[in-house]
Amino acid sequence: MSETPAGTPGTTAGPSGDALENLLAEGRRFPPSPEFAAQANAGPDLYADAAADRLGFWAARARELTWETPFTEVLDWSGAPRARWFADGRLNAAYNAVDRHVEAGLGDRVAIHWEGEPGDTRTLTYADLQREVSRAANALEALGVRTGDRVAIYLPLIPEAIVAMLACARIGAPHSVVFGGFSAEALHTRILDAEASLVITADGGYRRGAPSALKPAVDEALAHGDTPVRHVLVVRRTAQDVDWTPGRDVWWHEAVDGAADVHAPVAVEAEHPLFILYTSGTTGKPKGIFHTTGGYLTQAAYTHSVVFDLKPDTDVYWCTADVGWVTGHTYVAYGPLLNGATQVLYEGTPDTPHKGRWWELVQKYGVTILYTAPTAIRTFMKWGEDVPARFDLSSLRVLGSVGEPINPEAWIWYRRVIGGDRTPVVDTWWQTETGGIMISPLPGVTRAKPGSAQVPLPGVSAEVVNEAGEPVGNGRGGYLVLTEPWPGMLRGIWGDERRFADTYWSRFPGFYFAGDGAKKDDDGDVWLLGRVDDVMNVSGHRLSTTEIESALVSHPWVAEAAVVGASDETTGQAVVAFVILRADAVERADEPGEGSDVVASLRAHVVHEIGPIAKPRSILIVPELPKTRSGKIMRRLLRDVAEHRTVGDVTTLADTSVMDMISAGLHGSAAAPA
Instruction: Please report, as ranges, the residues that interact with ligand WT7 according to CB under 6 A.
Output: 279, 326-327, 402-405, 427-432, 453, 514-516, 528, 531, 537, 540, 542
Sign of CA dihedral 218, 222, 228, 232: positive
Taking alpha carbons only, the member of 30, 73, 142 closest to residue 425 is 30
Measured from the CB atom, the residue of 410 and 417 that comes closer to ligand WT7 is 410
Pairing of strands 110-115, 121-125: antiparallel
Distance of closest approach, residue 461 Cβ to ligand WT7, in angstroms: 17
> What residues are paired with 344 via a beta bridge?
113, 318
Taking alpha carbons only, the member of 54, 77, 84, 62 closest to residue 459 is 54
Taking alpha carbons only, the member of 553, 596, 611, 595 closest to residue 578 is 553
Distance of closest approach, residue 444 Cβ to ligand WT7, in angstroms: 19
Measured from the CB atom, the residue of 168 and 332 that comes closer to ligand WT7 is 332
Q: Contact at 8 Å (CB) between 653 and 634?
A: yes
Cα–Cα distance measured from residue 141 to residue 659, given in angstroms and rounded to the nearest whole number:
60
User: Element (H or E) spanning 444, and its range?
Assistant: none
Distance of closest approach, residue 541 Cβ to ligand WT7, in angstroms: 6
Cα–Cα distance measured from residue 642 to residue 672, given in angstroms and rounded to the nearest whole number:
12
Distance of closest approach, residue 427 Cβ to ligand WT7, in angstroms: 5
Cα–Cα distance measured from residue 296 to residue 96, given in angstroms and rounded to the nearest whole number:
12
Ordered DSSP codes for 625-639: --BBTTS-B-HHHHH
Taking alpha carbons only, the member of 477, 451, 644, 378 closest to residue 16 is 477
Cα–Cα distance measured from residue 564 to residue 622, given in angstroms and rounded to the nearest whole number:
14
Q: Which three-class secondary structure state does DSSP give residue 10?
A: coil
Cα–Cα distance measured from residue 597 to residue 671, given in angstroms and rounded to the nearest whole number:
9
Cα–Cα distance measured from residue 555 to residue 79, given in angstroms and rounded to the nearest whole number:
43
Measured from the CB atom, the residue of 204 and 492 that comes closer to ligand WT7 is 492
Distance of closest approach, residue 656 Cβ to ligand WT7, in angstroms: 32
Burial 276-301 (b: 16+ CB within 10 A, else e): bbbbbbbbbbbbbbbbbbbbbbbbbb
Distance of closest approach, residue 613 Cβ to ligand WT7, in angstroms: 11
Measured from the CB atom, the residue of 278 and 346 that comes closer to ligand WT7 is 278
Distance of closest approach, residue 22 Cβ to ligand WT7, in angstroms: 17
Distance of closest approach, residue 275 Cβ to ligand WT7, in angstroms: 14
How is residue 67 annotated by DSSP?
-
In sequence order, the 6+-apart residues with CB closer than 8 A to the CB of 126 are 98, 101, 102, 106, 107, 108, 109, 111, 340
Cα–Cα distance measured from residue 654 to residue 185, given in angstroms and rounded to the nearest whole number:
36
Measured from the CB atom, the residue of 326 and 548 that comes closer to ligand WT7 is 326
Distance of closest approach, residue 403 Cβ to ligand WT7, in angstroms: 4
Measured from the CB atom, the residue of 251 and 505 that comes closer to ligand WT7 is 505
Cα–Cα distance measured from residue 491 to residue 291, given in angstroms and rounded to the nearest whole number:
6
Distance of closest approach, residue 188 Cβ to ligand WT7, in angstroms: 21
* For the chain, counts of helices (H) and of strands (E): 24, 30
Measured from the CB atom, the residue of 130 and 452 that comes closer to ligand WT7 is 452
Measured from the CB atom, the residue of 375 and 537 that comes closer to ligand WT7 is 537
Measured from the CB atom, the residue of 99 and 404 that comes closer to ligand WT7 is 404
Measured from the CB atom, the residue of 172 and 451 that comes closer to ligand WT7 is 451
Measured from the CB atom, the residue of 263 and 542 that comes closer to ligand WT7 is 542
The HSE-up count of residue 178 (CA atoms within 13 Å, CB side) is 33
C-beta pairs of 250-254 under 8 Å, 24+ apart in sequence:
250/143, 252/139, 252/160, 252/200, 252/202
Task: Tell me how far apart the terminal alpha carbons of the chain are, to the nearest angstrom.
Answer: 31
Measured from the CB atom, the residue of 203 and 427 that comes closer to ligand WT7 is 427
Distance of closest approach, residue 300 Cβ to ligand WT7, in angstroms: 12
Measured from the CB atom, the residue of 356 and 565 that comes closer to ligand WT7 is 565
Measured from the CB atom, the residue of 107 and 515 that comes closer to ligand WT7 is 515
Distance of closest approach, residue 74 Cβ to ligand WT7, in angstroms: 25
455 to 63, 304, 332, 442, 446: CA distances (angstroms): 25, 16, 24, 9, 9
Distance of closest approach, residue 398 Cβ to ligand WT7, in angstroms: 15
> What residues are paired with 202 via a beta bridge?
235
Cα–Cα distance measured from residue 326 to residue 177, given in angstroms and rounded to the nearest whole number:
9
Distance of closest approach, residue 659 Cβ to ligand WT7, in angstroms: 28
Distance of closest approach, residue 515 Cβ to ligand WT7, in angstroms: 5
Measured from the CB atom, the residue of 89 and 515 that comes closer to ligand WT7 is 515
Q: Contact at 8 Å (CB) between 15 and 23?
A: yes
